A and B are shown apart, each in its own frame.
Chain A
Amino acid sequence: MRRVVITGAGTINPLGASVAATFDAMRAGTCAIGPLDIRDVDRLQVRIGAQVRDYDEADHFTRQQLTLYDRFTQFALIAGAQAVTQAGLVGVDPDRAGVVLGTSGGGLNTLDDNYRAVYEDRRDRVHPFIVPRLMANAAASHLSMTHGLRGPVTTVSTACASSNHAMGQALATIRGGQADVMLTGGAEAMLCFGGIKAWEGLRVMARDTCRPFSADRTGMVQGEGAAVFVFEDRDHALARGATIMAEVAGFAATSDAGDIVSPSQDGAARAMRGAMADAGLTPAQVGYINAHGTGTAANDRTECAAVHEVFGEHARDLLISSTKSMHGHLIGAAGAVELLACLMALTEGVIAPTVNHRAADPDCDLDIVANTARRAEVSAVLSNAFAFGGLNAVVALTRA
């Protein structure tokens, strides 16, 4: 079977506009959650979020481009350009390169703005490119067009697991020989009035900030942004002398076939076991888990119970953290931005912390790397994503 490695990474997220800036912020335990600065915030009960700040779209794109690029597409293109530059994708057969990107809301800002225009402002006309701007595959298609990638290009939308499912699909596409190079990851920009209002209804949003695994947690906080990686056939990468950041060793997806919103310990456990089996890893080899760790009571307890079930005694030794405490929950881009924490663990030996932690919860009795980053040599890591709809997806990375 062909082996798959990561040869490029790029991001723009609430912690920073590059991989280096994101690593710095994770190392420092920076929390990017703050007051939301969006239209009609006074009509929201949830008024906090992790926004990409100091961002002016006109600094990155022309007016003509912006008529086609929703905010989530912009994020994907910024992250994708960094990843492609790092990977040095020159002389790659474009017909053997593709894109598979995760997103949950797609062009939600475009949808929100234009529903306002027609319903609230009673306008009877919208811009001609609203459909190509809001469609969920817009970001993947523009990545393909920008970089001339003419192989398989798709979008995966599985709520909070979108990115992990996308990266799993990229892995399978290269392993299966349908492509040599795949851009993959996720992009999300849901921080608009309608986007937040919908989440508000679920009553699971935090009042103060995101405190995963902390006994006094009150829920999740949304974020936005993108991370894009270059996944590449290992032999292909070696032949062209590319620098390998890590190996994408395994992936597994499971479905709870149970509740539409409540998580399942069994579904999570089967996904972690499956990813390790696919990667040929034993539980004892896994040194770090980037948790789904949303900061809701239901997720955190269930996830910790699943880790105990899968890892047994080793659960006490491994490190597990939720970086959502820093960058918020990026929904369809969550797994992608969180894979950065996994790369930092493997390449720099630094484990990103779970910040905002104040009180131990007996139901979450794992080493959650509270508040301060930690040095640790790890050679294999897992990244968990457990979505609404009962869909679980776990990625396993190993040191190159």
Chain B
Amino acid sequence: MSEQQMQYDQTVADKIIQILADQALLDSADVTMDDTLDSLGLDSMGVVETIFAIEEAFDITVPFNANAPQDSGFDVSSVRSIVAAVQDLIQRQG
């Protein structure tokens, strides 16, 4: 299933958008699925805090290493990819 076709659990997406909005000091209405961490203005420590908040919200463990984010097996390239990765972790760890 491609990313475009993937169905999102709206509750999961909403929660993640709220977490990102809180970190980026934005209104959640201003965060879209196509936003990136860059476009939201999140630096590396903001990302680490976001991951922590996601782990706490969904009671999952996210395999994320700030030194090698691309090799972490957790795609943080966009809001869409984060939602997909979290859904995947919820299914596997839930």
User: CB within 8 A of B68: which of A45, A202, A297?
Assistant: A297
Other A-B pairs beyond A205-B65, A262-B44, 5, CB < 8 Å: A202-B66, A218-B67, A219-B66, A295-B67, A296-B67
B45 touches A219 (CB 8 A): no
The residues of A that contact B48 with a CB separation of less than 8 Å are 201-203
- Chain A 184-222: CB-based contact to B (< 8 A → 1; otherwise 0): 000000000000000001111111000000001111000
Please, how many angstroms separate the alpha-carbon atoms of A205 and B64 in the complex? Answer: 10
Which of chain A's residues have a CB closer than 8 A to the CB of B67? 204, 206, 217-219, 295-298
Determine the chain A residues whose CB is within 8 A of the CB of B65 once the complex forms.
203-205, 207, 218-219
Contacts of A262 in B (CB 8 A): 43-45
- Nearest B-chain residue to A202, judged by Cβ: B48
Q: Kindly state the interface size class of chain B when it binds its partner.
A: 10 to 19
Give the chain A neighbours of B71 by CB distance below 8 A: 218
Interface residue ranges of B1-58 to A (CB < 8 Å) = 43-45, 48, 51-52
Distance in Å: Cβ of A259 to nearest Cβ of chain B = 8
Q: How far is the CA of A217 from the CA of B45 in the complex (A)?
A: 19
Give Cα distance in the complex from A45 to B45, angstroms: 19
Q: Bound complex: CA of A203 vs CA of B47, how far in Å?
A: 10
Chain B nearest CB: distance from A183 CB in Å?
A: 36
Is A360 interfacial (CB 8 A cutoff)?
Answer: no
B77 within 8 A of A: no
Do B66 and A203 have beta carbons less than 8 Å apart? yes
Chain B residues near A217 (CB, 8 Å)? 67-68
Q: Which residues of A contact B51 (CB under 8 A)?
A: 203
The contact string, 1 if C-beta is below 8 Å from chain A, for chain B 52-94, is: 1000000001001111100100000000000000000000000
Alpha-carbon gap, A217 to B67, bound state (A): 8
The 9 closest A-B pairs by CB, nearest first: A219-B67, A203-B66, A297-B67, A203-B48, A218-B68, A218-B67, A204-B66, A296-B67, A218-B65
Nearest neighbor of B61 in chain A, beta-carbon distance = A45
